[in-house]
Amino acid sequence: MGRDVVAITGAGRGIGFATARRFARQGALLALNYEKTKDTLEEITVVAKEHGGDVLLFQADVADHLQVEAFIAEAERKFGQIDVLVNNAGILHSVPTQDESWERFERMMAVNLGGTFATIRAVLPGMLKRKSGRIVNVASELGLIGFATYASYCASKGAVIALTKAVAKEVAPSNILVNCVAPGPVETHMLIHDTVEFNDETREQVPLKRFGQPDEIAAVIEFLAGPGGSFMVGQVVSPNGGAAI
């Protein structure tokens, strides 16, 4: 990929961090969004510069479309354009549907779906002008199969999958390839703090008998953003260890 400009939301840890590290090793120009976790990104900055790249760090809550627009505008100001967008920022919680609050439901939708939509909307003008670009949205296998007590999360990620397909059909004629990664259980900060999912029983239900690692998902994102993904349009790739087949 060389010195393509790659924007990643939720880059401070987990899948976003692993993805940023992969692109940093390619010498990419990275625009990295974070909300709270910044310290880890200093490592990415060092790696990128060692390989001839550069990094912009930008704090923003993706649920606020004005902050998202400011992030993309600053990235385009610094690097000139955005070639690849990775929508990774997301939140998770588990609660019986009848106990879900409107506040938590709306926050889930605002971050997981609204943040993805806002970022796509912000990068499209430049990509459409150049008739080139890659967008990879991170959803979840739960958006495909559903899961008890995760109704809000499943709904938000299912909507990201539908959004991916719709936008992919819309912009593919302009050589903008939009695809989705829907991981199974991955050993991230978000999963570790979810006692419903992160336990030995859940692990044993996965045919591989283990959770995924962030870098395994980052490898799929890297594939979709690179030469190997040149004929992928509106696809949902689900690296899940066999949890959903």
Q: Which residues are catalytic?
A: 153
Residue appearing with tokens 């594939």: 223
Residue appearing with tokens 């649920």: 63
**Which has the closest alpha carbon to 123: 65, 165, 181?**
65
Residue 34 to residue 66: CA distance in whole angstroms: 15
Q: DSSP E strands: which ranges in the chain?
A: 5-8, 29-34, 54-59, 84-87, 133-138, 176-181, 236-237
Residue appearing with tokens 């591989």: 208
- Which alpha helices (DSSP H) does 131-199 contain, by range? 142-145, 151-171, 189-192
